[in-house]
């Protein structure tokens, strides 16, 4: 009887010990061992439980990689599909710290709906099928644009710390694919709709008291723009935003004091100029349909040398400003910015000391303003000849001291 009981006790102890061994977490390689070329936690000089070597169950890390791989975008052909990028991508995932891998998963699964943190990766080529492909290009190609090939095709967004150069480690760079945008530049050969007339922002018929229309006055034969109050220069904001539906301005001017501002109807996380909160007594079906396409809208940022617009929505935006036109042009250029693309929509150096422009047959144009139409273009190739015919559009009134 005694011997039998001892055998059962020893068997229970062995089972409990086996269970404890199965629950021991596996330490993943930290940045030190990855940069040194190591492939395990034993080569890492960090103490156990240190900030760079927090243990993560291998099954959890594998699950994160699987979640990432499910979010890859489709490609046009099998010759350069996600399977050819898989060795390089998995090699890069192994180099990421645990917290960076989790941040990457959140950023990719949210599809850029919120301003996520930077995902730092060691510089250098990812080992695998695609030799020499930088980490940011690899992930942008895998999760956003399969046709991107070179770093110069991408632009850091204004809230990326890698763009501002605040990362103290020169051996690391941000590879968060939603911290980048594609470049839409006027210098590229534009399609036929791009050389379009910038519609005037004034009524064809005399305006009546009480209506909210862009205000222009004529004094001594010269046009003067009075839509921007002189308080813009005094209150410290670099621009004010006016939202229009056809010829009618909706809501008040929105003053921008921060370096960037979101303009949106539906944004899960973030703040800025929410167009959905602006009331209107009567909206036509065209306006309601266009407002439904604004979604996450755009990000407007003041950066060195000019103003940039990043299209965060699922539909194109159309932009015009005096500096988008080539020198000597008699018409203003309307630039189409596709979803996920950025464009430098205003250049401080080009505007120089230009006064008000008076285009033949169109009237005056404020040289310190930007006009952006959501989802609908205008010009000779469209039924809408002027921007005042667009259902929903935004006017950016710049402080001339910017």
Question: Is residue 273 predicted with pLDDT exceeding 70?
Answer: yes
Question: Is residue 255 predicted with pLDDT exceeding 90?
Answer: yes
Which residues neighbour 355 within 8 Å (Cβ) at sequence distance 6 or greater? Answer: 367
Question: Is residue 37 predicted with pLDDT exceeding 90?
Answer: no
The pLDDT value recorded for residue 194 is 43
Please measure the distance between the N-terminal and C-terminal CA atoms of the chain and give it in whole angstroms: 93
Burial class (CB in 10 A: 0-12, 13-18, 19+), 132: exposed
Give the residue extent of every domain in the chain. Answer: 63-183, 239-351+365-398
Q: Tell me the whole-structure pTM to 2 decimals.
A: 0.72
Q: Pick from 229-243, 288-302, 364-378 the range whose average pLDDT is largest.
A: 288-302
The pLDDT value recorded for residue 82 is 61
**In contact, 143 and 111? CB cutoff 8 Å:** no
Domain covering 63-183 in this structure, CATH number: 3.90.520.10
Domains 63-183 and 239-351+365-398 share a fold: no
Sequence-separated contacts (24+) of 146-155 with Cβ below 8 Å: 146/73, 146/74, 146/75, 146/76, 146/80, 147/76, 148/182, 153/182, 153/183, 154/180, 154/181, 154/182, 154/183, 155/180, 155/181, 155/182, 155/183, 155/342
Query: For residue 263, what is the DSSP state?
Result: E
For residue 186 the two structure tokens come to 């006027």
Mean pLDDT, residues 61-77: 82
- 318 phi/psi in degrees, rounded to 5: -120, 130
pLDDT digits (tens, 9 = 90+) for 178-212: 999 999 865 444 444 443 333 333 333 333 333 33
> DSSP assignment of 231-249, as one string?
HHHHTT-SEEEEEEETTEE
Among 3.40.50.720, 1.20.80.10, 2.60.200.10, 3.40.640.10, name the CATH number for the domain at 239-351+365-398.
Answer: 2.60.200.10
pLDDT digits (tens, 9 = 90+) for 321-369: 888 877 776 667 889 999 999 999 999 888 765 555 554 445 566 788 9
Return the minimum-mean-pLDDT range out of 70-79, 171-180, 268-277, 278-287.
70-79
Candidates 98, 116, 96, 99; CA nearest to 107 is: 116
- Are β-strands 298-303 and 357-359 bridged in parallel, bridged antiparallel, or unpaired? unpaired
Question: Is residue 55 predicted with pLDDT exceeding 80?
Answer: no
């Amino acid at each position: 009887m005694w011997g039998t009981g001892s055998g059962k006790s020893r068997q229970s102890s062995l089972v409990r010990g086996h269970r404890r061994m199965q629950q021991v977490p596996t330490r993943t390689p930290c940045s030190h061992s990855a940069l040194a070329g190591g492939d395990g936690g034993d080569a890492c000089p960090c103490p156990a439980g240190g900030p760079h070597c927090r243990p993560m169950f291998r099954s959890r890390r594998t699950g994160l990689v699987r979640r990432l791989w499910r979010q890859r975008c489709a490609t046009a052909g099998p010759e350069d599909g996600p399977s050819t990028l898989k060795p390089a991508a998995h090699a890069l995932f192994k180099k990421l710290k645990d917290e960076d891998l989790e941040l990457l998963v959140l950023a990719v699964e949210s599809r850029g709906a919120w301003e996520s943190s930077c995902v730092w990766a060691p510089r250098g080529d990812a080992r695998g099928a695609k030799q020499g492909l930088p980490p940011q290009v690899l992930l942008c190609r895998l999760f956003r644009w399969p046709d991107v090939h070179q770093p110069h095709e991408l632009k850091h967004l204004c809230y990326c710390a890698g763009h501002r150069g605040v990362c103290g480690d020169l051996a690391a760079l941000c590879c968060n694919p939603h911290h980048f945008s594609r470049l839409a530049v006027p210098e590229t050969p534009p399609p036929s709709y791009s050389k379009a007339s910038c519609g005037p922002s004034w009524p064809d018929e005399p305006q009546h008291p009480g209506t909210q229309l862009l205000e222009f006055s004529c004094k001594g034969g010269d046009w003067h723009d009075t839509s921007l109050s002189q308080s813009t220069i005094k209150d410290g904001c670099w621009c004010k935003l006016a939202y229009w539906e056809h010829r009618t301005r909706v809501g008040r001017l929105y003053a921008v004091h921060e370096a960037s501002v979101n303009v949106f109807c539906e944004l899960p996380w973030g703040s800025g100029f929410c167009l959905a909160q602006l009331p209107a007594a009567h909206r036509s079906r065209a306006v309601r349909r266009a407002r439904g396409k604004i979604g996450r809208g755009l990000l407007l940022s003041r950066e060195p040398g000019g103003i940039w617009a990043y299209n965060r929505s699922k539909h194109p935006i159309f932009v015009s400003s005096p500096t988008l036109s080539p020198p000597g042009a008699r018409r203003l250029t309307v630039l189409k910015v596709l979803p996920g693309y950025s464009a430098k929509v205003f250049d401080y150096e080009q505007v120089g000391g230009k006064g008000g422009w008076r285009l033949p047959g169109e009237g005056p144009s404020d040289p310190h303003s930007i006009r952006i139409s959501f989802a609908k273009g205008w010009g000779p190739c469209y039924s809408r000849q002027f921007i005042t015919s667009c259902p929903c559009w935004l006017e950016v009134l710049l402080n001339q001291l910017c």
